[in-house]
Copies of this chain bind each other. A is one copy, B any other.
Amino acid sequence: MTTTTQVWTRRHILSLMDFSVAELDMILQTAVSFRDVLSRRMKKVPALQGQVVTNMFFEPSTRTRSSFELAAKRLSADVMNFSPSSSSLSKGETILDTAKTYLAMGADIMVIRHKQSGVPQAIAQEMDRIKSGVSVLNAGDGRHAHPSQALLDLFTICRVIDPDNPSCALLKDKKIAIVGDIVHSRVARSNIWSLMAAGAEVHLAAPPTLLPEFFRDFAQGSDGKLFVHWEIDEAITDADFVMTLRLQHERMTAHLLPSLREYHQGFGITAKRLKSCKPDVKVLHPGPVNRGVELASDIMDHPALSLISEQVTNGVAVRMALLYLIGSSKKT
């Protein structure tokens, strides 16, 4: 299906909305080789030696930042961490000026997270406008996109089916349920694009406050690939994979949910509920998990059911692949 003669051409990774299957496959295959590197005692390769990766996390995140930091270090890049608390943002500088300062210091790749949708795109545009050659990698922007998370999910799912040769073709006609706080989730949005592109059947399930009516309109234009459910049963029946989403506590204070307990009763993943899925169903969660809310505690810890640890490990491999692909293309 894919060939190794493919050449990577994107400078930035901002959203998966327009990614081709060939591009997704190229990422999956590059990640396979880095996944092997991670299982060795000597986990480093010199691919990005001398290059500078700047982590600009305007919204704090230990987990994703650590994953990118480790990925960059294992490619032998130098890593700069920008922490907004001690930053000059409070000093009246614009975000673009901050980005240009890191550019002038020598950043080759900027990994950017921001609570406002569109910030990574704006920085990427400016970097292109001034012909800087810098690559921007979106590490999560508002409710918009979180491409590296969706790609590690895709990689994890494909590797369940064929560990050594993951590719989009493996997902054809697989049923994948995405359960939880869809409307606020950039993870869900990015996954919808990549899973549909890969040919999977995607079923969304959540209470109406977390999955508004307009998603149905969107589903109707999806050519029978995307389905919307306001109850969980239909969504997970015969599912091959169940992706759960993190529930922010803020949703409760905003009165979008009556209580965590009621959410769990209606949409929490339990052993009993998983009986209606395919016999070899697997469960995913981007973490951190609220135990007993999105997932029953025993499901989370069940080695045959939960892919959560795999997701974290694969996250490092997939981020190495992304940094490698854009880091190499940039200079060609």
Contacts and interface: CB of A to CB of B under 8 A. Distances in A.
A86 B60 CA distance: 6
A316 B42 contact: no
A60 B74 CA distance: 27
Interface residues of A, number: 55
A41 B50 contact: yes
A27 B72 CA distance: 32
A256 interface: no
Nearest to A43: B50
A180 to B, nearest CB: 15
B66 A82 contact: yes
A40 B44 contact: no
Contacts of A98: 288
A106 interface: yes
Interface string A286-330: 011111000000000000000011111101100000000000000
**Identical subunits present:** 3
Given A83-B62, A87-B62, A309 B104 contact: yes
Contact of A44 (B41, B50, B67, B73): B50
A93 B312 contact: no
B106 A80 contact: no
Contacts of A83: 62, 86
Given A50-B43, A97-B288, A289-B93, A316 B105 contact: yes
A196 interface: no
A331 interface: yes
A80, A88, A94, A291: which has the most chain B beta carbons within 10 Å?
Answer: A88
Nearest to A317: B106
A100 B308 CA distance: 10
Interface string A58-78: 001111001101100110001
Contact of A93 (B44, B86, B288, B311): B288
Nearest to A300: B97
Interface string A22-53: 00000000000000001011111000011110
Contacts of A313: 104-106
A49 B44 CA distance: 9
A291 B290 CA distance: 44
Contacts of A316: 105-106
A70 B78 CA distance: 8
A132 to B, nearest CB: 10
Nearest to A331: B41
A100 B63 contact: no
A80 B66 contact: yes
